[in-house]
Chains A and B, each alone.
Chain A
Amino acid sequence: MPGLYLKEFMSSISVQNLHASINGQEIIRGLDIAFSQGEVHAVMGPNGSGKSTLAKVMAGHPDYEVTEGDIFLDGESILEMEPDERARRGLFMAFQYPVEIPGVSNANFLRAALQAKLPEGEELDATDFYHRLYEKMDLLEIRREFTARSVNEGFSGGEKKRNEILQLAILEPAFAVLDETDSGLDIDALKIVANGVNKLRGPKLGVLLITHYQRLLNYIVPDFVHVMHAGKIVLSGGKELALELELKGYDWLKAEDAETSAVSQTAAVK
């Protein structure tokens, strides 16, 4: 195993020629993207381009079927893995619409999730857990009474998104796919969430930031930007690409539909 010999082993995810459909309708149509720990990649694109589907397929949502291609985590295919196994291997997804779980407190939920990552027979120490939880909550400026509330139940949009970031902070995955984390947030909530993500940025976290709007990228500055259209990455570049999109909008994509394959090949970044 490389980790034994290399001081800084970088984990990576590679999505290759991915085709995925829901109810027989193909949404992802030959998508390639690769990213590593320590990098922040933004995936932008118009509504209906398949951005959220990409996130769900990576996480293993049971409604989607992969018909072709593969997703590799450090060279190993994850397609046959259950969602929970992918999660335990270090793939985290922040939901666009976080789900409510009535009666289950945030603290209990996080504790169960951390416990699930431990090898069988190992017990999570309660004191350590709360220490870690409070530390992360302080970092993200979340009040203590939050721990006793049921997961996402009765939360405002901003609270739900912040809770996703708290879970990310606690679980410390190698990769985080943030699915439209900015949707439904006012500017103050957006800043808080972006601030949280920035605090978690570092060499051990790879981020795939899925967003429709450029404004999130004013607060979380990506290393790479990819444009998605009709189920594929059609353009990749540095952070300046996001600004270009801001000016041009997405309409030009439609005009170039016919030539997209050519564009995506020439614009490959890595």
Chain B
Amino acid sequence: MSTANNTIEIDRSVGDFHFDIKSARDAGTGLTESTIDYIVDAKQEPDWIREFRKNAFQIFKDKPLPTHWASHELDAIDFDKIRYYLASGEAAKRSWEEVPDEIKQTFERLGIPESERKFLAGVEAQFDSEAVYSNIKKAVSDQGVIFVGSTEGLKQHPEIFRKWFGKVIPTGDNKFSALNSAVFSGGSFIYVPPGVKVKHPLQAYFRINAENFGQFERTLIIADEGAELMYMEGCTAPKFTTATLHSAVVELVAMPGAKIQYVTVQNWSPNVFNLVTKRGMAMEEAEIKWIDCNIGSRLTMKYPGVVLKGRKARGEVISIALAGDGQHQDTGAKMIHAADETTSNIVSKSISVGKGRATYRGLVHVPKHLKGCKNNTECDALLINAHSRTDTYPAITVRGTGNATQHEASVSQISAEQIFYMQQRGLSEGQAMSLAVNGFVNDLVRQFPMEYSVELKRLIDLEMEGSVG
């Protein structure tokens, strides 16, 4: 018992540490127009962005919290007590040697430089509000691939940036997309030129170090005609007693024939509200695939979507959620069919442990005038304990006669007979449980990049060890 618990303590704390760092740029606590001016000035942004942000701030103030579905958990966020911008005031470094010691140590502990050497085409490491490190392998940049922070993107590549920024997810999409639009900082801007296939993944790592802080990264990825790209993101934060807010907006644009895979392994500490808007637009014969894994946070509300805008475009969401005690993973997918012969596939698996709560919320829309559209939705939930909870809210609207949809949902439990069977072969109850849970998500985990699937299996093992007496 004690060993199992110790392991959990140690490993759960992989990201649970922080350094006391005085930020040279600090917008202070609370959000007003002057907070926005401070951010714009600190980042030396052009006027159009100042206007964009102030407009978004108005929309944010006008929109109510979406309490109608996430119960009243969101009421725990006090927007006046959050710090909206913390940074060193220095540009992101191109080599780890130049990154200040404590920050470098942070990322080393999280294994980022090591992964970069091993299998990544480029890395951006964000610490609180800004990237502290950003590098892309020369062979990749030589192909014309742009991989920079959002601020650099909007300043250095306005002709591409302005064309798509805020177009996939309008500011007023929801209260948190408006908040992000008002105070965004960090995130990635990526452009892959026509026909370029980036062989290795590009990775961003989002680290929150400060207390009472909100991280609002903004990512815009454009894969031009026939281009291919895999982007991965990871994240951690130390555990504080107060609420931390993470509210990102991610927009993807896949031009005709392009392919984008976006992989997330979310492992925020259990005091983080993770309220993220993610959507891609797929043009003719383009493909966007979200691989989304939610393990951490107190409350996550995230429904990656694809607008299937061009004929034969394909959209896919593969989603795994693990809700432990005190956690609510409210996740799902949105597929908006807007052209003929578009196909979408949603596979969602959730595991609720202890008093954990997992919710699947899906939206599939196929209007009447379209032909040859197909959707497949599968959502499976696994409940580990008697108090675990799962809810499924699929909203599938398929109109017209030439379109097809298929929907399957299941809720299951690991049976006592399964556990006894595995125990009879020598596995402890905890080992048996994690083997069964890993089996439940196995077909999805296999779609993750190797390094992530190993990590995922390890996290599930830890969670299950703790779920049995």
> Which A residues are closer than 8 A to B by beta carbons?
59-63, 82-84, 87-88, 92-93, 95, 98-104, 108-109, 112-113, 116-117, 150, 167, 171
Cβ-neighbour of B422 out of A61, A92, A101, A171 (below 8 A): A101
Within 8 A of A (CB), among B418-459: 418, 420-429, 431-432, 435-436, 438-443
A93 with B424: CB separation less than 8 A: yes
- Measured between beta carbons, the chain A residues less than 8 angstroms from B424 are 59-60, 83-84, 87, 92-93, 95
- From B420, B423, B426, B435, A104 is in contact (CB under 8 Å) with B435
Q: How far is the CB of B442 from chain A (nearest CB, A)?
A: 4
Q: Is the CB of A167 within 8 A of B420?
A: no
CA distance A171 to B417 in the complex (A): 20
Q: Is the CB of A99 within 8 A of B418?
A: yes
Residue contact A167 to B439, C-beta cutoff 8 Å: no
**Contact partner of B439 among A84, A150, A171, CB < 8 A?**
A150
Contact B426 A101 (CB under 8 A): no
Residue of B nearest to A63 (CB): B416
Q: How far is the CA of A83 from the CA of B420 in the complex (A)?
A: 7
Choose from B429, B435, B440, B443 the contact partner of A84 (Cβ within 8 Å): B429
Q: How large is the interface on B (under 10, 10 to 19, 20 to 34, 35 or more residues)?
A: 20 to 34
A95 to B424, CA, bound (A): 10
Query: Whole-angstrom distance from the CB of A112 to the nearest CB of chain B?
Result: 6
The answer to whether A104 touches B429, judged by C-beta atoms less than 8 angstroms apart, is: no
**Which residues on the B side are within 8 Å of A84 (C-beta)?**
423-429, 432
- Complex contacts, B428 vs chain A, CB 8 Å: 82, 84, 116
Q: Which of B216-258 contact A (CB under 8 A)?
A: none
Q: When the two chains form their complex, are residues B426 and A113 in contact, meaning their CB atoms are under 8 A apart?
A: yes
CB distance from A52 to the nearest CB of B (A): 13
Report chain A residues within 8 Å CB of B416.
Answer: 62-63
26 A-B pairs with CB atoms under 8 Å apart are: A59-B420, A59-B424, A60-B424, A82-B423, A82-B428, A84-B423, A84-B427, A84-B432, A87-B423, A87-B424, A93-B424, A95-B421, A99-B415, A99-B417, A99-B418, A99-B420, A99-B421, A101-B435, A104-B436, A109-B422, A113-B426, A113-B427, A116-B425, A116-B426, A116-B431, A171-B426
Contact assessment for B421 and A88 in the assembled complex, using a CB-CB cutoff below 8 Å: no
CA distance A103 to B446 in the complex (A): 11
Docked Cα-Cα span, A98 to B427, in Å, equals 16
Query: With A83-B423, A103-B442, A167-B425 given, can you name 4 additional A-B contacts, CB distance below 8 Å?
Result: A63-B416, A83-B424, A109-B422, A116-B425
Bound form: Cα–Cα A60–B419 in Å? 12
Contact B423 A112 (CB under 8 A): no
Q: How far is it, in angstroms, between the C-alpha of A59 and the C-alpha of B420 when the chains are bound?
A: 9
CB-based nearest B residue for A89: B426
Residue ID in chain B nearest A59 by CB atoms: B424
CA distance A99 to B435 in the complex (A): 14
Identify the closest chain B residue to A92 (Cβ): B424
Q: How far is the CA of A38 from the CA of B442 in the complex (A)?
A: 40
- Are A103 and B426 interface neighbours, CB within 8 A? no
Give the residues in chain A near B439, CB-CB below 8 Å.
101-104, 150
**When chains A and B are docked, how far (Å) is the Cα of A150 from the Cα of B435?**
12
Q: How many angstroms between the C-alpha atoms of A171 and B424 in the bound complex?
A: 11
Residues of B within 8 A of A (CB): 415-418, 420-429, 431-432, 435-436, 438-443
The 5 A-B residue pairs whose C-beta atoms are closest, nearest first, are A103-B439, A104-B439, A103-B442, A83-B423, A99-B421
Q: Residue of A at shortest CB range from B422?
A: A101
Nearest Cβ distance between residue A154 and chain B, in whole angstroms? 14
Chain A residues with CB under 8 Å of B441's CB are: 103
**Is the CB–CB distance between B420 and A116 below 8 Å?**
no
> What is the chain A residue whose CB lies nearest that of B416?
A62
A62-B416, A62-B420 given; A171·B440 CB < 8 A:
no
**Cβ contacts under 8 Å, A62 to chain B:** 416, 420
Judging by beta carbons under 8 Å apart, are B440 and A103 in contact? yes
Give the Cβ gap from A167 to chain B, nearest Cβ, in Å: 6
Closest to B437 in A: A103
Which residue in A60, A61, A100, A113 is a CB contact (below 8 Å) of B425? A113
Within 8 Å CB of A171, what residues of B? Answer: 425-426
Interface centre among B415, B426, B435 (most CB of A within 10 A): B426
Please state if B431 and A109 are interface contacts (CB–CB under 8 Å): no
B448 nearest CB across to chain A (Å):
15
Chain B, Cβ-Cβ closest to A91: B424
Closest Cβ neighbor of A84 among chain B residues: B423
Give the CA-CA distance A176 to B155 in the complex, in Å: 73
B397 → chain A closest CB, angstroms: 31
Complexed CA–CA distance, A174 and B259 (Å): 56
Contact B421 A112 (CB under 8 A): no
CA distance in complex: A108, B440 (Å): 14
CB distance from B94 to the nearest CB of A (A): 39
| Alpha-carbon gap, A189 to B420, bound state (A) | 26
Is A112's CB under 8 angstroms from B420's CB? Answer: no
A116 and B427 contacting across the interface, CB-CB below 8 Å:
yes
Please name the residue on chain B nearest to A150 by beta carbon. B439
Are A102 and B421 also in contact (CB < 8 A) when A112-B427, A171-B426 are?
no
Q: A119 → chain B, closest Cβ, in Å?
A: 13
Residues from chain B with Cβ under 8 Å of A83 in the complex: 420, 423-424
